Amino acid sequence: DAGITQSPRHKVTETGTPVTLRCHQTENHRYMYWYRQDPGHGLRLIHYSYGVKDTDKGEVSDGYSVSRSKTEDFLLTLESATSSQTSVYFCAISEGRGHQETQYFGPGTRLLVL
Amino acid sequence: GDSVTQMEGPVTLSEEAFLTINCTYTATGYPSLFWYVQYPGEGLQLLLKATKADDKGSNKGFEATYRKETTSFHLEKGSVQVSDSAVYFCALSDRYGGSQGNLIFGKGTKLSVKP
């Protein structure tokens, strides 16, 4: 257990509304990640963070923004949700260094955009 | 860029059957390789990993060997149980190569084990 929680765990929202998902970790990990999981695509990286206020884009970042104002929290925001953003969102942290680096995942947030 | 290809499912086996899920990769550097498992309704759990060529990762009766010559990391288990029913993901990470430490996933293989 890497001490990762995500909130909310489930959310239903309407197209055009803003949505913020929260990832919280308790073990002071430097690296944090947001992925989305869709059938037939596996998991794809949205954004990641390598420190407070240090973030970068992943493979599928369009329509998403992130913020990390403190080590323990990494927020994912959908500024104006669309139906194509219906997905399961996973947060992850990274432990170890170099080739021993390993990512551990939170329980996920299931988002439905109507 | 870096990529992972794993066999498409679903895979259906009887209890106590032998399991192989194929995984091959392409990478610009020297990646670490992972298998993650996702049980129904849950998040991803690390199943096993290998960090260099010829390393064997193992956990819960599952094994996978890092084969650099064939760029493969096939998952095997000698005798599956109903409780092994899940989706299995192969992934790679290379902090100093193309993925820059980010995980690159295969699309997942759904395994169903029948009693």
Angle A55-B103-A49 (CA atoms, 0-180°, nearest 5)?
Answer: 15
Is B93 in CB contact (< 8 Å) with chain A?
yes
- From B115's Cα to the closest Cα of chain A, the distance in A is 26
User: What's the N-to-C CA distance of chain A in angstroms?
Assistant: 33
- What per-residue confidence (pLDDT) applies to B30? 85
Q: Does B30 contact A40 at a Cβ distance shorter than 8 Å?
A: no
pLDDT digit string (tens) for A63-105?
A: 999 999 999 999 999 999 999 999 999 999 998 877 778 999 9
Interval A4-52: pLDDT, tens: 999 999 999 999 999 999 999 999 999 999 999 998 888 999 999 999 9
The H-assigned helical ranges of B29-109 are: none
Q: What mean pLDDT comes out for the span A53-64?
A: 94
Using CA atoms, how far apart are residues B70 and B94, in angstroms rounded to an integer? Answer: 18
**Cis ω on the peptide bond leading into residue B10 (within 30° of 0)?**
yes
Look up residue A114 and give its amino acid.
L
pLDDT tens for residues B20-68? 999 999 988 889 999 999 999 889 999 999 999 999 999 999 999 999 9
CA distances (Å), B81 to each of A111, B9, B44, B56, B77, in order?
32, 18, 19, 22, 10
pLDDT tops 90 at residue B98: no
Q: Is residue B96 predicted with pLDDT exceeding 90?
A: no
The residue assigned the tokens 């049980």 is: B39
